[in-house]
Chains A and B, each alone.
Chain A
């Protein structure tokens, strides 16, 4: 178990290291910090002197070492546009993105578990066939079209829901606010959350269904039936527990994937989160902000994946701890 832990942590470190190198090369090649600072009117000698002074003519490794040293201390440079530390700008937007991921996760759990179990228990019923059919269609609709469809129906035609924005937020501290604690905020959260959930929902229904059907074929379930236990106990106490193991692993990894799809969801709904900010930063060529986003999102992916692997290793004793 200890070797497994070390191996996983080592892998996470290697991946973070690769991400930092990529981020640094982006910062190194994209945009010229001097032009941002000085403008056009400065002579060539002054520029060169300035480059030397700032260490921009140092060898690659020296510059990378400096970048890494600062990054470890949380200094990822100053955003050209906001004139604030890039990391602060990103972290201020993080709650908005996490709200979306949280809302979507909640919707996925509430819908996928009962629908998946139902269609596994009654695979031949008409309702199950409808569920499976709709989930195939769901997989085939790109997320931005779901968003547009929801906006068109619920915001434009029916006028029940706001079409964009985050609404009123509740300030917890100066840099931390949440839309989860105001009625207006929750109202704004509904459509984007459903949109984000729509990508993963079909996937989870299918996964829960196939895992549950596999479990229901196993010996211990037949034995449970033979003992005369009530169907409810067999399905939920015996079968469901073993269904959840693979679902949790996939689920953990998909939380990372959802962060990627927040970029699309946030763009359509103009939700002021990290993804929206990132696309704006790209259009403004705001290099420090792009780099900061890359590092924050990379860290989220690495941390969730490592945690999921470790938890799975602890929960499921049959997993091969020496790695594949």
Chain B
């Protein structure tokens, strides 16, 4: 990144004059989605400062407060404006912390996917030949098993092997690892496709003639030119990772109820929906859907604007 300072003075100006910024200024939906996403991100980062209660601190929880409806309902308590869950935790605080957990897992898992996918995709595309066909064969096979299936089975086996208690302590790391490893082919295929196109261009030949090593050409010359497809998939992949995490937590294979993500919060509320306590399920559910929806819409918008050649198939 030592090349950056030279372009720095003009970077802001270049950005303001870009097609990207112009389309963003014109598109109301994209602005709205970006706003919601940034808001969710800020709320997640500053959750400990914003939340009126600490849901992880059992001293602040009173079981007598359990299953209170939101404050606008007749039996609500003004102290808990979204009501409380079955353990008597303030739902608003728990949702803030849950969003934090869900986003952390989603973003970390996608960073792991991108890391693996970029290295494998670059290697497959640039080196080519046997390496390429072997890596892509593995990617094909891994994609043919759905991520959900792989994740459920791997986590289930680990849960059975570790025992529930130890597993719950490791849940976050396990979720990131499993979701991260299961989806690398998405990145690898897309990056390989753009590398194959970039490889033929003159600047790569020039770099090779100048005697740069393979690794330097791959990471410093080709990789920056494959960034727009990476950006497009990343948005959608984070949305998918959040859904995957929520689904796994719902099955009891993810975050424990003591440290809930949005998924485990919904799961814990599901038992009470039959007795009329809808808010424990519905409110975190709406938050989850809104979060995933804005990311999908942003992904659609990015795809239209950047229009990269994505792997089709």
> Could you list which residues of chain A lie within 8 angstroms of chain B, going by C-beta atoms?
11, 15, 26, 29-31, 136-137, 139-145, 148-149, 151-152, 156, 163, 253, 256-257, 259-261, 263-264, 267-268, 278-279, 282, 285, 287, 290, 294, 297-298, 301, 305, 323-324
CB distance from B144 to the nearest CB of A (A): 5
> Could you list which residues of chain B lie within 8 angstroms of chain A, going by C-beta atoms?
133, 136-137, 141, 144-146, 148-149, 152-153, 156-157, 159-161, 239, 243, 246-247, 250-252, 263, 266-267, 270, 273-274, 278, 281, 285, 288-289, 292-293, 296-297, 300
Extra 12 A-B pairs, beta carbons < 8 Å, given A137-B289, A144-B247, A263-B152: A15-B141, A142-B250, A144-B250, A144-B267, A152-B273, A257-B146, A257-B149, A260-B146, A261-B146, A264-B148, A290-B156, A290-B160
Query: 7 closest Cβ contacts across the A-B interface?
Result: A260-B149, A257-B146, A140-B293, A282-B156, A140-B292, A260-B148, A260-B146
A–B complex contacts, Cβ < 8 Å, 7 sampled: A29-B161, A30-B160, A141-B292, A144-B267, A145-B285, A148-B285, A279-B156
CB distance from B231 to the nearest CB of A (A): 19
B266 and A145 within 8 A (CB): yes
Q: Output the nearest chain A residue to B285 by Cβ-Cβ distance.
A: A145
Cα–Cα, bound, A12→B58 (Å): 52
Q: With A29-B161, A152-B273, A253-B144 as known contacts, state yes or no: A136 contacts B300, CB within 8 Å.
A: yes
B137 and A11 within 8 A (CB): yes
- Chain A residues, CB < 8 A from B239: 140
CB distance from A202 to the nearest CB of B (A): 10
DSSP majority for the A interface? helix
- Chain B residues, CB < 8 A from A257: 146, 148-149
Contact of B296 among A140, A142, A163 (CB under 8 A): A140
B292 and A282 within 8 A (CB): no
A324 and B133 within 8 A (CB): yes
Contact of A136 among B137, B141, B270, B293 (CB under 8 A): B293
- Chain A residues, CB < 8 A from B273: 148, 151-152, 156
- Chain B residues, CB < 8 A from A279: 156, 251-252
Cα–Cα, bound, A287→B137 (Å): 31
CB distance from A25 to the nearest CB of B (A): 10
CB distance from B253 to the nearest CB of A (A): 8
Cα–Cα, bound, A163→B274 (Å): 10
A30 and B293 within 8 A (CB): no
A144 and B146 within 8 A (CB): no
- Chain A residues, CB < 8 A from B136: 324
B250 and A290 within 8 A (CB): no
Q: Output the nearest chain B residue to A323 by Cβ-Cβ distance.
A: B133
B270 and A148 within 8 A (CB): yes
B148 and A261 within 8 A (CB): yes
Cα–Cα, bound, A323→B157 (Å): 34
Cα–Cα, bound, A108→B199 (Å): 41
A278 and B145 within 8 A (CB): no
- Chain B residues, CB < 8 A from A305: 144
A256 and B250 within 8 A (CB): no
CB distance from A266 to the nearest CB of B (A): 10
